[in-house]
Amino acid sequence: MYQTLIACSELAAIIDDTDVIVVDCRFDLGAPAAARAAWLEAHVPGAVYAHLDDDLSGPPTTDRGRHPLPPPATIAARCGRLGIGDGSQVVIYDDSHGMVAARLWWMLRYLGHRPVAVLDGGWQHWVASGLPVRAGAESHPPRALGATPQVSRLVRIEAIDEAMCLLDARDEARYRGECEPVDPHAGHIPGAYNHCWRNNLAEDGRFLPPAALRERLTRALGRAPDESITHYCGSGVSACHNILAQYIAGGGEARLYAGSWSEWCRSPEHRGMMD
């Protein structure tokens, strides 16, 4: 059972297993329809497609962020339509070094589904390894996926306070408020530390070893990471990459503030804290 990362060679060895469901999560924020077209053109054999906006986000029931987290029953139903069932080993990949794939990894973990892993190196490494690809639409018979939400892993805006240890996954310039290309206000939640999700990666685009991840997270936080850490980013996507990195590093399964900066900076009660 793979629960964090899976190497391309490992996936190639099990890809024909009927209990293995591969999900392509490629996504381009500037061209939301482009990745689905890219999936149709070529993908890992058997991979179904999940769209960040349409499948991994939903109506703002838990937050007011740009990529609201759907209710647990909706997540389970959507994953079931992809062919993911209670016994499925799920493998997720993208072409953005696991940034979007980690969102679905977290969502399935949030439901209580454990056999789920991100393809280390993603689409680029699969192709560079000379492994087979396939064109055209793929699908699997729908399956039932149970939902036992791990409610302690999800943080809502009203729970955030000065005593909470927050880690911002955005790049340093956005964290410092020097620029804000997407949201209406620049800056970060007061008291938050910063660890850009890209700092989890080696030069080849794969995750760093556990010891290196732990060292970098410890440096960012000023202490060792543990389950009390709450991760956030712009809209609750790249923060999941840091949660995955922390879990790989042996720091426990941290919490996600799904609304993230896109929700927090829009809240009237926080406006004075940003001025």
Task: Give the residue numbers marked as catalytic.
Answer: 233
Which residues contact residue 195 at a Cβ distance below 8 angstroms, ignoring those fewer than 6 apart?
Answer: 167, 168, 169, 216, 217, 220, 221, 242
Which residues contact residue 22 at a Cβ distance below 8 angstroms, ignoring those fewer than 6 apart?
Answer: 11, 15, 44, 45, 46, 47, 48, 90, 91, 92, 93
**CA distance linking residue 144 with residue 207, whole number of Å:** 32
Task: Give the CA-trace dihedral at 248, 251, 255, 258, to 10 degrees.
Answer: -40
Residue type, 56: L
Q: Which sign does the torsion angle of CA 48, 53, 58, 61 carry? A: positive
